[in-house]
Amino acid sequence: MSISLRNVRKDYDQQTKVLENVSAEVQTGEFFVIVGPSGCGKSTLLRMIAGLTPITDGEVRINDQVVNELPPKARKLTMVFQNYALYPFLSVWDNVAFGLKARKLSQSDVQQRVEHALKMVNLTDFSKRKPRELSGGQRQRVALARAVASDAEICLMDEPLSNLDAQLRIKMRQEIYQLQRKLGLTLIYVTHDQVEAMTMADHIMVLNDQHVQQIGTPSEIYQNPENEFVAQFFGTPQINILSAKRSAKNHHLLTIGSNDLQLALDEEVPRDQLRVGVRPDEMTVSSAASSVDANAVVKNTEFLGNETIVYATPK
Ligand code: ADP
């Protein structure tokens, strides 16, 4: 089940223009992550794919069929939300079975699917419990089980892990990834967390400022960011962005502060007002013989065990 977005636009009203010209191809069985800062329109885009929010302009296709006018039910997809959306008075089992019963499946079919889904997410022993008797991670697993049981080939997830603590997020990240691979789901996953995007995605779409900034594999996005926003959004600690210009002495030298840097610069790179991005892990630190020889001043250091972060400004 592939998904295609073509020049999708969304204005909630004249004042609230959220997305413009969003195009993307999501292949069958792919883990596709939509990432961007809070408020950039990620949920809106996901809801438009689901059919929960109307599209202002453009096309959404599922398996090459335009679905703009199709109601959510007819799109054959399932959704997992941040707040789990569980029924508090129903048991785990009944929460998973709920959607299936509404679809009028036979009792044995429902039984089989719920059993299978609970097994997939390791909740078989919890089937009689109510949501309030579960931990946050277990509740999210019930929501995942519901997606598994639905048998839909497309699953949309909106920040499913953001209510969980840091350690549990890492664990659930792996569980979702393994589940997606095992089931061969086409999964579109929304998050504001660049680490989640980098660790799970086959392809990442970076959204900001109403536009798609870049679509690529995690390594393409990290190594060849399309612009400064993308470069700064990925990587901890953040990429260094330094002002620079071409050296007056030699066109192939770049001057940053009082330092000249030998770089193979193309002729078309302008002379002045350059911005240079350097990932922290591409830099090495050595101590200078005297402060006169130093090319940077250390402001602060943070010892983290396996690495030490050095904050410095160029001289
Ligand atoms: P994200 O998921 O990236 O945090 P959203 O898609 O939730 O962003 O919201 C994008 C923008 O659209 C925000 O400015 C938000 O206030 C606005 N917005 C979201 N839903 C509605 C709505 N139903 N009506 C009007 N504006 C909305």
Contact between 186 and 2 under an 8 Å Cβ cutoff? The reply is: yes
Cβ(96) – ligand 1 distance below 6 Å? no
Question: Using alpha carbons only, what angle is made at residue 8 by residues 4 and 10, rounded to the nearest 5 degrees?
Answer: 140
CA within 13 Å, CB half, 97:
19
Q: From 12, 156, 189, give the residue whose CB has the most ligand 1 atoms within 8 Å, as the site to mutate.
A: 12
SS3 213: strand
**Is 39 touching ligand 1 by the criterion CB < 6 Å?**
yes
Cis bond upstream, residue 237 (ω within 30): yes
Distance 56 CA to ligand 1 centre (A): 14
Range 28-33 average pLDDT: 97
Please answer whether residues 233 and 261 qualify as being in contact, where contact means their C-beta atoms are separated by less than 8 angstroms.
Answer: no
Name residue 254's beta-bridge partners.
246, 261
Q: What element of type H or E holds 35?
A: strand 31-35
Q: How far apart are CA 106 and CA 103, in angstroms?
A: 9
Q: What is the pLDDT of residues 250-279, one digit of tens each?
A: 777 888 877 777 777 777 777 778 888 999
pTM above 0.75, yes or no: yes
pLDDT digits (tens, 9 = 90+) for 64-114: 999 999 999 899 898 888 777 889 999 999 999 988 887 778 889 899 999
- Evaluate: CB of 82 within 6 angstroms of ligand 1: no
Give the DSSP H or E segment for 309: strand 308-314
| 127-156 confidence digits (pLDDT tens) | 999 999 998 888 988 988 888 888 888 999
SS (H, E, C) 83-148: CCCCCCCCCHHHHHHHHHHHCCCCHHHHHHHHHHHHHHCCCHHHCCCCHHHCCHHHHHHHHHHHHH
Q: One-letter amino acid identity for 236?
A: T
Neighbouring residues of 171: CB distance < 8 A, sequence distance ≥ 6: 137
